[in-house]
Amino acid sequence: MLVLTRKVGESFIIGDDIEVVVLKIEGSEVKIYKKIVEENLRASSVSVDSLKGVKVIDQDRRGTDQTP
Amino acid sequence: MLCETKVGEVEVSESKILLFERGIPGFEHLRKFTIVELEQTRPFCWLVSLEDPNVALPVVNPWLVRVDYSFELSEADREELKLESSDEIDVWVVVTIPADVPGEATVNLFAPIVVNKSRNLAKQVLLEGSEYKLRHRISEELQRSNEILKKMQKE
């Protein structure tokens, strides 16, 4: 068996007229990264007004006072 | 310095500029951000790009959603953020609101934004191998957190 190592953009030639180019390598890390890209893009599309109705823990109960 | 941002014109002092050396996933071309606090969305803040006035992500202190949120930074992330043991960090998580329905809002606890406050270096880190996911519904987390808080108060 012949094992070749190529990075994205590199290629190898089979015979006289077939060139195989590595276009992309996708591992689990790339997939996770893509999901985070999607999530960030979704997040940035939100309007200022839509956040008004979202409730979180009452800060006084946590004992951290972040009010000015 | 007065900056035109998605959430309006904001006055940003040099010391408040956060540098994301590798950008943020989805916005790799942007490096400079700042955190803007808006009165009308408090306690939610905005991670605002200082280079593209169309980019601003809503963020929140994760402990206001999940009281027992915890994670360990990898050695690589520590190095990238040039964190030394004495450096203080800030942590933010990104909020997503599907179709602008507030009740469905989620937080990304899997990829928190960590800031080295001493050097103003920031990064969205990935907590691989952790129990956290990209979407935790805020309303569910809130219920869980309130139960934990109640138990703590009884003890």
Q: To the nearest whole number, what is the mean pLDDT of chain B?
A: 92
Best to test chain B binding among A28, A33, A56, A61 (most B CBs inside 10 Å): A56
Q: Coil, strand, or helix at residue A59?
A: helix
Q: Which residue of A lies nearest to B110 if distances are taken between CA atoms?
A: A36
The two structure tokens encoding residue B30: 């942007």
Chain B contact probe: residue of A30, A38, A49, A51 with most B CBs at under 10 A? A51
| Residue of A43, A47, A56 with shortest CB distance to B64 | A56
Please provide the size of chain A in residues.
68
Is the pLDDT score of A61 beyond 70? Answer: no
Distance from CA of B41 to the nearest CA of A (A): 6
8 Å CB contact of A36 and B134 = yes
User: B76 to chain A, minimum CA–CA distance in Å?
Assistant: 15
Confidence of residue A60 (pLDDT cuts 50, 70, 90): low
% of chain A at pLDDT higher than 90: 18
CB pairs under 8 A between A and B: 103
For B136, the 3-state DSSP assignment is strand
User: Which chain A positions have a beta carbon within 8 Å of B97's beta carbon?
Assistant: 46, 50-51, 54
Rounded to the nearest angstrom, the minimum Cα separation between B130 and chain A is 13
Question: Which of A30, A46, A48, A54 is most worth mutating to test chain B (most B CB atoms within 10 A of its CB)?
Answer: A54
ipTM for the complex shown: 0.89
Q: Which residues of chain B have pLDDT under 70?
A: 100
pLDDT of B140: 94
DSSP state of A18: E
